[in-house]
């Protein structure tokens, strides 16, 4: 049985290192989060599409290197593998420019879904970038509707990228629709404000949780840590202090590590989870994210289990 199956974009992140200078790594939020879980020891598989080009072959090779099953990584000659140029400011915060008109990641169809396998995994991870274009958007929603009534835990990261949407109203509506189908929602503070319309991120997260009946909501707040909204309560977990170099995959590292650690609790359903388990998972995920932001790159920056454990020991 797969611990985590992710569906969505796998692409090439070209991260700015200077004026018109870029260093390439494989990226995409679902892929990054899955890569973090795989590096920590989860059994993982990826569903997505790349172009029949050199970048697509690099993406496939990266999944192989990480031990992520890519049986269902489709290849198309109708579009190139998507590229995302990422420039960073002095604080390591990012600005994205996508070459995706269309990109191969937008062409995933229902026929590419291994639904029987998805229905047997423990966590099904999906993100908001996949909702910005059909047919991938329809494919993701189809898979979610088919999972209704199964024990699979559905985890959603809106991963809002305004430049990918012609209409931000559509981005908001589709993101909220996807939230109504998930069991675990991971939000940044900016996303909590955008999707809720509430200027206070935590109040916005509470409103979304109540309106969409989401069991578990995580709000990542960078250097301020994260908040866990569960069973009508909200608790904060502080971040580990580090010097931020590159925040490219910080949220993905956090989410992948959180899901990995939560599954280590041997839960079958979310209603079996305790606050102690949630807090431990968030602390572990915060450590993984701290290590990630202290390094450059996306997948290359993601830590192993030994690195996270060693880092935690140093903080005690």
Q: 263 lies in which domain range? A: 4-315
Q: What is the pTM of this model?
A: 0.95
Q: What is the DSSP letter of 180?
A: T
Of the candidates 3, 2, 87, 1, which has an alpha carbon nearest to the alpha carbon of residue 264? 3
Name the phi and psi angles at 48, rounded to 5. Answer: -175, -170
Beta bridge partners of 237: 226
Q: Residue 274's CB: how many other CB atoms inside 10 A?
A: 11
Q: Which residues pair with 45 in a beta bridge?
A: 5, 69
User: For residue 177, what is the enclosing H or E element?
Assistant: helix 168-179
In tens digits, the chain (316 residues) has pLDDT values of 899 999 999 999 888 888 888 888 999 999 999 999 999 999 999 999 999 999 999 999 999 999 999 999 999 999 999 998 888 666 656 678 889 989 999 999 999 999 999 999 999 999 999 999 999 999 999 999 999 999 999 999 999 999 899 999 999 999 999 999 999 999 999 999 999 999 999 999 999 999 999 999 999 998 889 999 999 999 999 988 888 877 778 899 999 999 999 999 877 788 889 999 999 999 999 999 999 998 887 898 999 999 999 998 888 7
Question: What is the domain count for the chain?
Answer: 1
CATH of the domain at 37: 3.40.1190.20
Determine the longest span between alpha carbons in the chain, in angstroms: 53
Distances (CA, A) of 206 to 42, 129, 131, 177, 181: 30, 23, 23, 16, 16
CA distance 120 to 117: 5
> Phi and psi for 284 in degrees, rounded to 5?
-60, -45
């Amino acid at each position: 049985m797969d611990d985590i199956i992710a569906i969505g974009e796998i692409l090439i992140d070209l991260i700015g290192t200077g004026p018109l200078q870029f260093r390439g790594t494989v990226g995409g939020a679902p892929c990054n989060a899955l890569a973090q879980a795989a590096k920590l020891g989860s059994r993982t598989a990826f569903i997505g599409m790349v172009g029949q080009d050199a970048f697509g072959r690099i993406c496939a090779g990266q999944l192989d290197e990480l031990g992520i099953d890519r049986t269902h990584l489709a290849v198309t000659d109708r579009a190139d593998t998507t590229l995302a140029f990422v420039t960073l400011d002095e604080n390591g915060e990012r600005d994205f420019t996508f070459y995706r008109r269309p990109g191969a990641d937008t062409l995933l169809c229902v026929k590419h879904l291994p639904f029987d396998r998805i229905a047997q995994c423990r966590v099904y991870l999906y993100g908001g970038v996949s909702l910005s274009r059909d047919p991938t958007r329809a494919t993701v929603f189809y898979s979610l509707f088919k999972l209704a009534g199964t024990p699979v835990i559905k985890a959603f990261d809106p991963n809002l990228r305004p430049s990918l949407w012609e209409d931000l109203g559509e981005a908001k509506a589709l993101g909220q629709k996807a939230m109504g189908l998930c069991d675990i929602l991971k939000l940044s503070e900016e996303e909590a404000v955008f999707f809720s319309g509430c200027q206070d991120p935590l109040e916005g997260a509470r409103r979304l949780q109540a309106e969409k009946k989401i069991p578990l909501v995580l709000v990542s707040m960078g250097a301020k840590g994260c908040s866990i909204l569960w069973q009508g309560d909200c608790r904060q977990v502080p971040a580990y202090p580090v010097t931020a170099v590159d925040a490219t995959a910080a949220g993905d590292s956090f989410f992948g590590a959180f899901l990995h650690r939560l599954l280590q609790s041997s839960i079958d359903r979310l209603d079996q989870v305790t606050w102690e388990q949630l807090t431990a998972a968030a602390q572990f995920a915060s450590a993984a994210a701290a290590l990630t932001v202290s390094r450059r790159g996306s997948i290359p920056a993601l830590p192993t289990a030994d690195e996270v454990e060693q880092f935690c020991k140093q903080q005690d």
